[in-house]
Amino acid sequence: MQVTFASGGFPPRVQKINQVLSKRFLPSLLKSHGNEKEGEIHERQNRAPLAPKMVAWVWFAVAAGFSLMCGWKAMQGQIDWTMSAVSAGIALLIYLEPRLRRREVETVQVDDVGILRVDGSIREEVRWEAIAEIKIITTNTGPYGEDVFFVLTGAGGKGCLVPHAAAVRTKLLEALQARFPIDDAAVIAAMGCTSNNSFLLWKRAVAGHASVTPDG
């Protein structure tokens, strides 16, 4: 069974991105749904833990440097130790924050059956043979937010919305290139885009017509 694109259950930032995509590029595709189990096309097997988030070293250096500067002034008797202690505490929190987070697991699975994305109560999946259209959509939320998404659409506007980071981890593009005549020029253009846009990589042929790419 293919499940409609879903926006419920995501953090507010991702929900905002989904709203942008829904209005500009994916009309009628991003629909909330329950955790539908009946008739799933394949089991979830990829539950590999993701690498911990990197420490924000720039902000750590700023906080630590400010703490040292205030500490030096405090030693000279120019100020008290409050600012130094507060800045040191902030630097410590920045350093520990990635380690205090709950370890995330992979949400996307690419296998011989198709593509599956499971994120909390959200489940989206599509078989390879059911894919009718492949796009990359970009938003202007980068570089600090996810701004590139693979859109794999099946029959009836159902399919999978895969963020670029997950696509890289699961080698989604390589799997697509092995199965479809993907337009590589469109992929390159999409990866260099920093605005709200949509790039068609491949579209299944309808009766009496050839498959569609931007060049054909």
Least confidently predicted of 11-25, 91-105, 169-183: 11-25
C-beta separation of 108 from 117 below 8 A: yes
Ranges 39-53, 108-122, 188-202, most confident? 188-202
Extract the tokens encoding 12.
Answer: 């507010």
Extract the tokens encoding 50.
Answer: 């993701």
Q: Is the pLDDT of residue 130 over 70?
A: yes
Overall pTM surpassing 0.85 (yes/no): no
Cα dihedral sign, 62-68-71-72: negative
* Residue labelled with tokens 């920093």: 194
Cα dihedral sign, 209-210-214-216: negative
Write the pLDDT tens digit of every residue in 49-94: 545 566 678 888 888 898 999 999 888 888 888 989 999 999 888 8
The more confident residue out of 87 and 98 is 87
Using 50, 70 and 90 to split pLDDT, how confident is the model at 150?
A: very high
Helical segments of the chain, H only: 12-24, 57-75, 82-100, 164-169, 172-179, 184-191
The more confident residue out of 13 and 197 is 197
- Closest Cα partner for 128 from 88, 179, 87, 80? 179
Cα dihedral sign, 6-11-14-16: positive
Q: Is the pLDDT of residue 96 over 90?
A: no
